[in-house]
Structure 1
Amino acid sequence: MHSSSLLSVLALAATTLSAPSGHVEKRAQTVYLAGDSTMAKANGVITGWGVFVPYSLSLPVVNKAIGGRSSRSFTVEGRFDEIIEVIQPNDIVIIEFGHNDGGSLSSSDNGRSVCPGTGAETCNSTYNDQAVTVHTFPYYLTEAGKAIIAKGGKVIMSSQTPNNPWESGNFSYTDGGRFVTFAKDVAKALGSNAMYVDHGAYTASIFNSLGKAGTDKLFPQDHTHTSPTGADVVAKAFVKGLQCGGGGFLKGFVKNGTETIPGTCL
């Protein structure tokens, strides 16, 4: 009897171990971050807001942002593909570019500048002595978004954070520029599996409330990159925008209530 029972247990274990791959352990949704240095981890003097946003979310966060990248270079280097390869249904990808996407496509093409335009326009350029076809900012983000959604993921298009809006001596922030508009339009075009957060406007609003002296302290190196304290402020601005919009795909996963984050709903 004991031998028979043991064999039965071993048989059951073998069946469990050899169960079809469709039977997997439950896992928490994962949030992936795709962006440039304003989102990425850096040195102790400056760092990006992606380092601090995990403290506001109850989901795992994987920060794939990297300094110096644009929608174009992030795509060409296969960094969107790396995310798309590993995401699973209901994972969320927050995408924020714009700081490195401007500039001119000329003989000095830096590999980051995008083709002017709002859709499928292309430009011919030369980069590293190679002829290349360059697409527009909306094209790169739309293609990435469609691939993420095809895997069952969700997309949050986030507008780029502003440079120090007090740099001139007076506060100055309007609509954040064309890349902000493009990000909003891409989110709308992608449909119900994408949403938009005007991170730039919410960050600028908090900087306005801090005044020139308070904001200047958050930019120790230049007018673009924040200190860790500044990155924490910028992360809270993202959460503020998210919460003021009802939470979207992250509803129920935000630890901070809007009332605890400085600023007002825009």
Structure 2
Amino acid sequence: MEHLRIFLAGDSSVTSRPLSMAPMTGWGQVLQVFVQDAEVVNAARAGASSRSFAERGRLDWILENIAPGDLLLVSFGLIDMKPGDGRFTVPFGDYQWYLRKYVLGARERGAHPVLVTSHERRVFDDHGNIRRPLGLYPAAMRELAAAMSVPLVDLNEWSVNWWRQAGAEGTKQLFLYMEPGENPNYPEGIADNTHLRGHGAVECARFVAGELSLRGVLAPHYFRNLDAAVPETAIEFLDDDVFERLTKSRVAGRPVPDAMSGALL
């Protein structure tokens, strides 16, 4: 059996985090917990949009290294909505155009693309109702997935339902909310409505893996722990210098990292 790899292209909601940013965790950082007999290569980059990830050579790096039978999971939207710095895209315009590049690039190399809508931000109104600041980006991805017959994992819709059930206070246990002095990495405390901590990232990764299994994207033997409790202590963080080196290497023209590096970043 050939060695299967699952490449991840995405933004800060997907990327792995260094030890200095713990417990901030991307769901791609813990996807390996739910996968076996396959290597997760997390090439997602904080601050990336579908446009900037492609234009700065990170998609090319994936396409240089991906092989027939591999998967490419693509998840953008949180940064695409931000103006400036060459990152903004229009949902039913260049956002779909860039997503098409990922899909066609994977297919041209015999790999299998999967589109994953971004989890929603934690935004509630004064009455405790969940807001949906991602707007039309998830809908645009759904439309493209249907038009191109690409498997879709609708993490956005699933997360909205979870955030709604947890409520304004309960979701603080899922996102990076900390009091001053609670964690040395955030001595002044933090109230982050975009980035997840361990439990939130684990459950998002579990949902993604579960959908890949349910939809038959990969055979059942590739998955594990789908119904098991996963403690936050199981989450691995790279040393900052290793993280920095691997992050900088994930551009076109660089060699494939070793298996351990690929699985963790």
- How does the TM-score come out when normalised to structure 1? 0.72
1:248 maps to 2:216: yes
Match of 1:86 among 43, 65, 68: 65
Q: Give the Cα–Cα distance (whole angstroms) in 2 for the partners of residues 139 and 159 of structure 1.
A: 16
State the Cα distance separating 1:184 from its structure 2 match. Answer: 1.4
Matched, 1:74 2:42: no
2:171 counterpart (215, 240, 244): 215
Q: Which moved more, 1:58-67 or 1:231-240?
A: 231-240
Q: List per-residue Cα deviations over 1:199-249 (Å, max 9, x = no partner).
A: 111122223333333211222241000112221122123234445xx3331
Q: Give the corresponding residue for 1:138.
A: 96
Looking at structure 1, the residues matched to 164 and 2 of structure 2 have their Cα atoms a distance apart, in angstroms, of 40
Alignment partner for residue 35 of structure 2, among 57, 67, 90?
A: 57
Once residues 59 and 100 of structure 2 are traced to their aligned partners in structure 1, the CA distance between those partners, rounded to angstroms, is 12
CA distance in 2, matches of 1:234, 1:89: 27
Q: Distance in 2 between matches of 1:233 and 1:166?
A: 21
2:208, 2:24 → 1: CA distance? 18
1:79-158 correspondence runs (5 A): 79-104=58-83, 109-114=84-89, 116=90, 118-119=92-93, 136-158=94-116
Output one character per residue of 1:106-144: Cα deviation in whole Å (capped at 9) or x when no partner.
Answer: xxx311112x3634xxxxxxxxxxxxxxxx000011012
Opposite residue 223 of structure 2, the aligned amino acid is V
Corresponding residue of 1:228? 198
- The farther-off stretch of 70-79 and 27-36 is 27-36
Please, what TM-score do these two structures have when normalized by structure 2? 0.72
- Gap regions ≥5 residues in structure 1: 1-25, 120-135, 262-266
What's 2:119 paired with?
A: 161
Helix, strand or coil for the counterpart of 1:60? Answer: strand
| Identical counterparts, % of pairs | 27
Q: Is this contact kept in 2: 1:165–1:204, CA < 8 A?
A: no
Give, in angstroms, the shift of residue 165 of structure 1: 4.4
Q: Which consecutive residues of structure 2, in runs of 5 or more, have no partner in the other structure? A: 178-189, 230-265
Q: How far off its partner does 1:40 sit?
A: 0.6
Taking structure 1 as reference, are residues 117 and 41 closer, same or farther at Cα in structure 2, changes over 3 Å only? closer
| Aligned position for 2:128 | 170
**Cα 1:153–1:46, aligned 2, differ >3 Å: closer, same or farther?**
same
Higher RCO, 1 or 2 (CA under 8 Å, sep at least 6)? 2
* Secondary structure at the counterpart of residue 224 of structure 1: strand
Do the aligned partners of residues 75 and 92 (structure 1) sit closer, same or farther apart at CA in structure 2, a change above 3 Å counting? same
Q: How many residues align?
A: 210
